[in-house]
């Protein structure tokens, strides 16, 4: 097995996220899968790299859904800080 680095943890995190069923996928299941591959101590050591990659992946997914909605004409107005304060 190659040396475990933050880059390896990020790459494996991304690959697992892309292959996952996002309806049932959790951070805990991601961590368990990474621990099975890399070892629990390594996952603990590089937990921040895993979390940052997971957050980046989820943000990309959310932005992609927004783009799809725009393409299909289903965008709904989001409240702004000014409108939220007024209500």
13 vs 5, 53, 54, 70, 85, CA distance in Å? Answer: 12, 7, 7, 29, 39
More confident residue, 67 or 27: 27
- Per-residue DSSP letter, 20: S
Give the domain ranges of the chain. Answer: 6-65
For the cut 80, the answer to whether the pLDDT of residue 2 exceeds it is: no
Taking alpha carbons only, the member of 54, 11, 8 closest to residue 31 is 54
User: pLDDT class for 81, splitting at 50, 70, 90?
Assistant: low
State yes or no: pLDDT of 10 exceeds 70: yes
Predicted model pTM = 0.71
Whether the Cβ atoms of residue 43 and residue 9 lie closer than 8 Å to each other: yes
Closest CA to 27 of 2, 1, 59, 50: 50
């Amino acid at each position: 097995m190659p040396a475990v680095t933050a880059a390896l943890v990020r790459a494996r995190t991304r690959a697992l996220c892309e292959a996952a069923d996002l309806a049932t996928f959790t951070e805990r299941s991601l961590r368990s899968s990474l621990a099975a591959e890399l070892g629990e101590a390594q996952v603990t050591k590089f937990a921040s790299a895993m979390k940052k990659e997971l957050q980046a992946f989820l943000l990309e997914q959310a932005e992609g859904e927004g783009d799809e909605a725009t393409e299909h004409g289903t965008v709904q107005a989001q409240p702004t800080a000014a409108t939220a304060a007024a209500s």
